[in-house]
Amino acid sequence: MKSPCKTLEKTLGYRFKSKERLLTALTHPSYRNEKGHETCADNQRLEFLGDAVVGLLAAEHLYAHASDMNEGDMTKFRSTITNRSGLARVGTAWGIGGQLRMGRGEEQSGGAAKESNLADAVEAILGAVYEDGGHRAAAKVFAKHFVPRLENRLVQSPDMDNPKGTLQEYTQRVRQTNPEYAILEESGPAHDRVYLAAVTWDGEELARGEGASKRGAEADAARKALARLQDS
């Protein structure tokens, strides 16, 4: 049976000089807390590095291949693959949920499928690749796994300033029906509320989103629904 490192290296298309870096990238903080601080490192520092690496590589690609795009639009398109949902989709494609090292409590609570855990691990893995092999190695992994998604966004060109309108145009075009939104939850103090919204289409929930207002939560849900539909 292949080790998690060998399986993931084959998926990434990169062989680590130091397997320990990859193991660290797959280590959730709960695992370290459960095992003891002296036992191992978790992936938070690599996540910090990887966040910068992914952002840089996305910016480089857009700067080189989208010469007619202004700064604002490049920022929006970069966000579609570097935000939490975009990164989590990459993590799902890599199959890293079952390879994460987590504490028992986090594992039992469904941590392997949590969007935040998958996104953090993807950033940490890119950080580990960069630390292990430098910019060239990270750029190769990015080109293989992120550029096709980014190019798909460039072709689709959704109006990210009006995701609800774009989603409605899509659903009308496909089935002549509109998406529906519902606020599922409100949390936080009165001065710092957080709303959770869901968007459904023909009885199927497409996505959930969060925001500081109901409108913002619905827009976030619509944006995630568009990303899901474009990946299907």
Superfamily, domain 4-156:
Ribonuclease III domain (1.10.1520.10)
pLDDT of residue 155 exceeding 60, the answer is no
Please give the pLDDT value at position 165: 84
Sheet holding 194-201, edge to edge: 180-187, 194-201, 204-211
Q: Which helix (H) or strand (E) holds 194?
A: strand 194-201
pLDDT tens digits, one per residue of 18-58? 999 999 999 999 887 776 655 678 999 999 999 999 999 99
Tens-place pLDDT, residues 68-84: 677 887 887 888 788 88
pLDDT at position 1: 38
- Hey, what amino acid is at 169? E
227 pLDDT higher than 60? yes
51 in active site? yes
Enter the tokens of residue 154: 């460039």
* 69 token code pair: 């795009």
Mean pLDDT, all residues of the chain: 86
Question: How do the domains of the chain map onto residue ranges?
Answer: 4-156, 163-231
CATH class of 163-231: alpha beta
pLDDT at 144 over 50: yes
**% residues pLDDT > 90 (the chain):** 44
Instruction: Categorize the per-residue pLDDT at 111 as very low, low, confident or very high, splitting at 50, 70 and 90.
Output: confident
pLDDT at 4 over 90: no
Q: Give tens-digit pLDDT for 162-207.
A: 788 888 888 887 888 999 999 999 988 877 788 999 999 999 999 9
What pLDDT shows up at residue 163?
84
| Other CB atoms within 10 Å distance of the CB of residue 71 | 9
Of 51, 132, 218, 220, catalytic: 51
Question: Residues 181, 182, 183, CA angle at the centre, nearest 5°?
Answer: 130
Fold equal for 4-156 and 163-231: no
Catalytic residue among 42, 47, 106, 123: 123
> Among this protein's residues, is 9 annotated catalytic?
no
